């Protein structure tokens, strides 16, 4: 199906079998063109070259295998371009270099194997970049150094084998970093120590056997950390003692044979800890007694939860996340 669009007074009409018109919608001051879920296999955007007020272009969930973005070159008011969930094998972003008001770029779930991000050096207002779900084995993030307003970066479910995170060191507005579902066997997080606004960090579904969390000590806004579905054999949680806003710690499906939770004793906002499918035989849950908002602990049936304290707490004194384990708790009295 092909849309050859004709423009007149902010109305775009497309020729379909039933001549159904396609028109702009207006959201506040935004002129929006949505052509999502139209089963498009091809689209011609040349008529948009003169639509100077276009701010939001959405073409996701179609069957596009290629797209020419050159008609968008002079659309300097464009702030959102969504091309996710198509079958694009490649995309040339150079035609967007003049679109310096772009705040959102979604290229998720296509078939892109190589992606040059260098045009993004001209996007100082970019807030969200989503390129996950593409068969990328490598990605050069250096152009992102200019995207100082970036808040959300999604690089998940690709096939990335190694990554240099150094270009992200100056992106101090970053709040979400998604690196899950890749093929990383090691990762240096030290360039990220300056990202004090980071709230959500995902490294699950890689091939990591170890990871140094020291750089996370400065992430005082961190709320969710996912390291599940790796091959971690040991993990030092002491850097997380400074992450007082931490709520969710997801560590299931690793190779951990022991884990010391004591550094997290004062992390009183923790609600969830998942540890299933590791090699743990026992786990000292005493620090959890100090977590008033704790709701969920997931451990394997065979794991013995230990309480190391002078007095064994009554069930009703336990946080909700431990109450289901009350009968299994093993009390080790402190001297």
User: Which pLDDT score is estimated for 22?
Assistant: 54
Q: Around 81, how many Cα atoms within 13 Å sit in the side-chain half-sphere?
A: 23
Q: What is the mean pLDDT of the chain?
A: 91
* Cβ density class 83-109: b for 16+ within 10 Å, e for less: bbbbebeebebebbeebebbbbbbbbb
Higher-confidence residue: 329 or 170? 170
User: Which pLDDT score is estimated for 334?
Assistant: 63
Total length of the chain: 335
Q: What is the pLDDT of residues 223-265, one digit of tens each?
A: 999 999 999 999 999 999 999 999 999 999 999 999 999 999 9
Q: What is the pLDDT of residues 127-168, one digit of tens each?
A: 999 999 999 999 999 999 999 999 999 999 999 999 999 999
In the chain, what are the domains?
1-150 (3.80.10.10), 161-334 (3.80.10.10)
User: Which pLDDT score is estimated for 52?
Assistant: 87
Q: What is the pLDDT of residues 26-64, one digit of tens each?
A: 666 678 998 899 888 998 888 888 888 899 999 999 999
Contact status, residue 319 vs residue 294, Cβ threshold 8 Å? yes
Question: What is d(CA 217, CA 241) in angstroms, rounded to the nearest whole number?
Answer: 7
Contact status, residue 131 vs residue 163, Cβ threshold 8 Å? no
**Residue 3 clears pLDDT 90, i.e. is over it:** no
Of the listed ranges 15-24, 43-52, 74-83, 314-323, the least confidently predicted one is: 15-24
pLDDT bin (cut points 50, 70, 90) of residue 69 is: very high
Question: What is d(CA 2, CA 227) in angstroms, rounded to the nearest whole number?
Answer: 44
Higher-confidence residue: 310 or 290? 290
The residue-averaged pLDDT of 299-309 equals 93
- pTM of the entire predicted model: 0.92
Cβ neighbours around 20 below 10 Å, total:
10
User: Which pLDDT score is estimated for 332?
Assistant: 83
Above pLDDT 70, what percent of the chain? Answer: 91
User: Which pLDDT score is estimated for 24?
Assistant: 59
Contact status, residue 115 vs residue 139, Cβ threshold 8 Å? yes
User: Which pLDDT score is estimated for 208?
Assistant: 98
| Dihedral of alpha carbons 83, 86, 88, 89, sign | positive
């Amino acid at each position: 199906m092909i849309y050859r669009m004709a423009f007149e007074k902010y109305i775009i009409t497309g020729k379909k079998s039933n001549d159904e018109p396609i028109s702009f919608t207006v959201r506040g001051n935004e002129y929006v063109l949505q052509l999502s879920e139209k089963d498009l296999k091809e689209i011609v955007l040349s008529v948009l070259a003169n639509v100077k007020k276009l701010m939001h272009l959405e073409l996701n969930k179609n069957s596009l295998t290629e797209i020419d973005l050159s008609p968008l070159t002079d659309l300097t008011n464009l702030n959102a371009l969504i091309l996710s969930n198509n079958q694009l094998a490649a995309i040339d972003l150079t035609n967007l270099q003049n679109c310096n008001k772009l705040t959102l770029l979604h290229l998720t779930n296509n078939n892109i194997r190589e992606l040059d991000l260098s045009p993004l050096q001209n996007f100082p207002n970019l807030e969200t970049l989503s390129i996950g779900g593409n068969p990328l084995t490598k990605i050069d993030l250096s152009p992102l150094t200019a995207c100082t307003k970036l808040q959300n970066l999604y690089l998940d479910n690709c096939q990335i084998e190694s990554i240099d995170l150094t270009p992200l060191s100056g992106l101090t507005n970053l709040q979400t970093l998604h690196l899950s579902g890749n093929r990383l066997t090691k990762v240096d997080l030290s360039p990220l120590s300056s990202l004090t606004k980071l709230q959500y960090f995902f490294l699950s579904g890689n091939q990591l056997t170890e990871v140094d969390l020291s750089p996370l000590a400065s992430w005082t806004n961190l709320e969710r950390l996912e390291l599940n579905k790796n091959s971690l054999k040991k993990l030092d949680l002491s850097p997380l003692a400074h992450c007082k806003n931490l709520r969710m710690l997801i560590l299931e499906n690793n190779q951990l044979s022991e884990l010391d939770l004591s550094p997290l004793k004062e992390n009183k906002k923790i609600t969830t800890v998942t540890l299933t499918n590791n090699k743990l035989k026992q786990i000292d849950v005493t620090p959890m007694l100090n977590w008033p908002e704790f709701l969920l602990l997931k451990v394997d049936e065979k794991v013995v939860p230990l309480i190391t304290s002078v007095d064994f707490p009554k069930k009703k004194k336990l946080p909700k996340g431990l109450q289901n384990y009350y009968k299994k708790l093993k009390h080790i009295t402190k001297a």
